[in-house]
Structure 1
Amino acid sequence: MKTYFKLIAFVCLGLNISFAQNKTENVFIITTDGFRWQEMFRGVDSVLLKDDKFVRNRDRIKNNFVAKTPEESRQKLMPFMWNTIAKEGQLYGNRWEGNKVNVLNPYWFSYPGYNEILSGYADDSINSNDKKYNKNMTVLEFLNNQPKLKGKVAAYTTWDVFPYIVNDKRSGIPVNSAKDLVKGNLTQKEELLNEILKTYPSLASDRHDFITYYLAKEYIQKNKPKVFFLSFDETDEFAHEAKYDEYLFAANTADKFIGDLWNYCQSRPEYKGKTTFLILTDHGRGDKIKSQWTSHGQKVADCYQIWMAAIGPDTPALGEVKTEGQLFQNQIAKTAANFLGYKFENGKQIGQEIKTMSK
């Protein structure tokens, strides 16, 4: 009998299967590029709001997002985060409470950050945003290689470098990105969104985030993926353009999209009570010097500081975590696989799962 159980354990280990009895059957990893933890936890930055270099329509921001307290302001800015996740899930990264989330790669910009999120490995050799195929295996590729998940992994993104980060050629994962039109047997919505994509170019990003979201939602409705990566970009692009009002509205819109997707999942039997969302950003932005909020990278202080959130059937409702602690961006990949009962390995020294995110 002991030999029998040893054999079962050996087989499960070889298949990268854990014994965890999680309710989660689907994992969505969602990012909004370069959105600061400062706005996440205090709402509108009053210093930036007063600066005419960064704000075109101050009254519009005041009417929509300014409130008497930072807590009320952040709730108006990110309603899903603070009305749903803060009650039913977990939020990390409020450094004013001593709760820290850090990037480990030394560069503090997008490709290194997304590689770290998806591969669990802060690769110092990835030091640009150049379109080079990622040599590291991501958790998306790893999960797509599992027999039960094969063909049930996909990514929809605004930024056009993601096919290279996910390495769609090697991994076989469909990545719809930037100016990619949806092909095949299209729904009416997909036809319309394709037409908008062709005729209504974004002046900020590679395409509008709303195109990414609604194409992604159509894909999810049609194909019912079990692992999905969704990435928005306009927060970063409007920040680089020094448009603080548009940056705030882009964040608010991304929050609404995430909330809408969560509500959709809770309305479908294949996702309801079986789906975990992991939400975060790829890097921080400047804060100490007012003019540097538009930028990030090694020359801008504290851009390694980020935030993350989680919600799902296996995630205890801790809300905003105010205890002192330290998490890292490279822990998301293994955490995502762990929710599905798999032990993610890719031959690198990757971050460990976040144990507080699951029961």
Structure 2
Amino acid sequence: MKNIKIVSLAACMSWMLSLMFFTSCSSDDSNEEYKGGPVIESVMPSGYNEDGSLKPLTPVTIGDPKNYYVIHGKGFLTTKKVYFNDFDTYFRPTFVTDTDIIILIDEDTPYANSSNKLKVVTDKGTALFDFEIAPPVPTLTQFYPVNATAGSEITITGKYFLNPVVTLPKTADLPEVPVTVVSSTLEKIVIKVPENADLRYLAVSNISGTATSAYGIGTAIFDDVAYYDLGFPDWNNHKVVTDGTAEQGLTHLEKEMDAWGNLQGNWGWYDKLQPFAGIRVAVKAKVDGKVRLVFNGDWSNSPILNVTTKWQTFTLPWSAFSSSDRVQNISFQNLTANADGDGQKNTFYIDNIGFILK
């Protein structure tokens, strides 16, 4: 079933202006209807930019889904079908003239492994035109391992990785650095870590835009493994889970805690904190509740996190803690309670413990 679109007033006005422009510029002074098969001469954006200005009537060969375009040519009055990448695209017959079709590229139009063709089918024939559908701007969900070193491999996950370009983005002090892509699919990229990548973000670009990672290389305290002796001893009776539901990487921690119960971390030591602004941690729970992040053994003055049944990443500045000259211990205490304030059992899932870059 066709997905019928409602054309906005702005798009209609732009379309009318487009048709007026092309009518006035037409080389056919006789104004007689073209009698032959359809011919596509160009495709141009139609509508308004975010600042309210009209989009320029400039021919393009790449189109963005959910945007309007004018297909310009001749022989369109008997148009029956329009296809982008063989996807049957709805158009309003009232928005068709002999020389122009105004059309919205459907958001479900395929963009990968496609024909890269625009096709207009009329009673008098079919016209083809080279036209590419741009993917959405990429989304970068995560990468692992976080603390990968030069020459090793990192896996990046997300969406819309069509012909991806990966870089270490430019900073105030460092230039952009290209990153070697070992392999890629639309949702996964494997890269080789370049030299001097520590404490740098990753960026993935396609023809539509760029996505940058939420955290930097070398910032993990726990991703799939623990670093700096800041792990969690077995006597906690917690689970190390690898079931495809981790917030980051392949593994996360799970602990069923009685009322006021806890997951206690090892006593390690890391004090090279100058590049960092605080701590991040991803947490979810079996039921909505609260958990205290116990930092460096301070059980009375540490932040309390409101946790839901979905992963949330909490970013906590050093000012949230009573001591911030080192990371010595990270533990978690269940503070879930009912309306009367009575403590309740809850299960917590913990992942992606690391540093926030300044």
Higher relative contact order (CA 8 A, sep 6+): 1
TM-score of Structure 1 vs Structure 2, range by shorter chain: under 0.3
More strand by share: 2
Q: What TM-score results when the alignment is normalised by the length of structure 1?
A: 0.21
Give the structure with the larger helix fraction: 1
**Structure (1 or 2) with the larger CA radius of gyration:** 2
